[in-house]
Amino acid sequence: MRLGVEETLGALNSALGPGGPVWFKETHARHLRARDFLAPRRALQARFGDDQVPEGVVHAIVGLQGPGVAPVLCCAPTPAGLALRLQRSVVFERVLGSGAAYAAPAAPTAPTPRIVLHCPALRGSPSALRLSQLRAVIVADHLARILQAHRVSVRRVPAVRDPYMTAFLQQLRVDWPEVSEKASTEALRNRAIAELSPAGYAGALPPGTLGRVCLKELMEERGRTAGYDPNVDSCLVTEDLLSLLAELQEAVQAGAVGSSLGLAAAPDAGADSYVVLHVVSCEEEFQQQKLDLLWWKLDHQAPLSQKHLVCGPVKVAGAPSTLTAPEYYELRHTQVCKVSSLKHGKNLEQDAAWTDIFRVLSVAAVKFEMLSTAPQSQLLLALADSSISTKGSKSGTFVMYNCARLATLFEGYKCSVEQGLYPTFPPVSSLDFSLLRDEGEWLLLFNSILPFSDLLRQMAALTLTRTAPGLHVTARTETVCKFLVQLSMDFSSYYNRVHILGEPRPHLFGQMFARLQLLRAVREVLHAGLAMLGLPPLSHI
């Protein structure tokens, strides 16, 4: 079984006896020079009084064992609290000897509800797509990838019918279903007509509107306690609205197909085994609340659990508020081409070999900007060229640059083997990981490789609780981007300081191979993280 941060923390807290969690994992390089985990002094005093932690407890901590629990080297009191250090060479051996296991999401341990993921922004054309809607689209795509990586059944709605929107999503590497047959709206239309307010109460209706349905009673019965806006009192019913409801209805009804594919779905196939998650921009939420209530009113089998993930507004410094999503992408693409041309001293925009690289870099810039801030918060975009530089440590292009540096490193090793400078890579079981003594090496393993699967599992769990109270859910969709940026910063610092492919002398090969195996694992995690964003790895920039 692979080692896990959560398993280790759970065992450490259990060893202290009854009470809440006390231990936490260190992340800063300065603290990791002395310890890996810390139980703060104040928390220990609250647990044990002013007395020291009993010697028997400390002895039990040092001898901790169990599935996924990392081996402990020592545990001792310090001014900061109880400090614990792992058997690092053993942890290196266990983790790096397991191949790509630590880059794979952990399998779910219990059945999960099925998800219908609805993003209303995709019903229009790209030319009308506002930046806040683009943010919702990218968040929805990212969530779907995270959930599906954990074998959760996800159905995405609506199917995209506008060919220009399809082309734009392909450009953005957003994976969303395309045109499907329109679901029948006959039953919903008949029910809606029966529920329409009398003509005298409906007021003047816009052209193409079937009528107005009163939602006040349903709002009082169900909506108010769930957190819906009390101003939601009625909804104008159109054919487009009925078409969307029919598509949502069909997605729920067709869910039994997903459960036959071996996905980790709840055993019951009814509508209430679903969470319908509406990923909406802040401008769209009020209308979506009306749609939720209308669905419940017209379809008694509609899922009881409808949740909203509301993406905050996107503001652009020094640019008109009318900037559309395609215009924003084209701006980033132009900037990527410009920065790359300046870096290489020639115009590469017309070079076919660079076309796909520029597209990937542009998408990386867009997705990291849209995802690196918590989705519920306001996002402020800076459109200057400097925001997409490979030297800036916060951008998607910086992450892709370090992905390419890793590829270049391994290509350099491969060429050197072909030239006879280095031997072929030995069996991993023969490597001596005690040679990994640089603090940057432990930083990469302990902060990036070891916790990666836990990070993905925590993200997936946030969206899977259908019984949680309230209408709104939060999702830490910024987690993967921030993780990849930090990983790239740690790798860049290590790579700039340590010469990996050293002189071809036999007595240096052992350390070189241990380091290459570490960076293989870093590469696996980096590629897995990029896959959660729909981004392919790059071999050069």
Tens digit of pLDDT for each residue in 428-460?
999 999 999 999 999 999 999 999 998 888 887
Residue 258: predicted pLDDT: 46
Averaged pLDDT of the chain: 88
Give the least confident one: 328-332, 456-460, 497-501: 456-460
Give the domain ranges of the chain: 5-86, 114-256+271-316
Which residue in the block uniquely carries the two structure tokens 């229009």? Answer: 124
Cβ atoms 81, 46 nearer than 8 A = no
Single-letter residue type at 198: P
Residue 386: predicted pLDDT: 62
Residue 458: predicted pLDDT: 83
The percent of residues above 70 in pLDDT, for the chain, comes to 90
Residue 375: predicted pLDDT: 93
Most confident of 22-36, 107-121, 196-210, 380-394: 22-36
From 138, 198, 145, 128, select the one nearest 171 (Cα to Cα): 138
CA 43 to chain centre: 32
Tens digit of pLDDT for each residue in 150-162?
888 899 999 999 9
From 22, 61, 28, 62, select the one nearest 42 (Cα to Cα): 22
- Which three-class secondary structure state does DSSP give residue 44? helix
* pLDDT for residue 120 is more than 50: yes
* pLDDT for residue 494 is more than 80: yes
Give the least confident one: 73-77, 251-255, 279-283, 499-503: 251-255
State mean pLDDT over 240-249: 90
Exposure b/e, 214-251, CB count within 10 A at least 16 = b: bbeebbeeebeebebeeebebbbbbeebbbbbbbbbbb
Tens digit of pLDDT for each residue in 58-100?
999 999 999 999 999 999 999 999 999 999 999 999 999 987 8
Q: What would the two tokens of residue 511 be?
A: 């350390």
* pLDDT for residue 283 is more than 90: yes
Partnered with residue 276 across adjacent β-strands are 116, 306
Residue 387's pLDDT band (cuts 50, 70, 90): low
Cβ atoms 411, 405 nearer than 8 A = no
* pLDDT for residue 284 is more than 60: yes
State mean pLDDT over 355-383: 93
Residue 393, CB-side half-sphere exposure with 13 Å CA sphere: 9
Burial class (CB in 10 A: 0-12, 13-18, 19+), 429: exposed
Residue 262: predicted pLDDT: 42
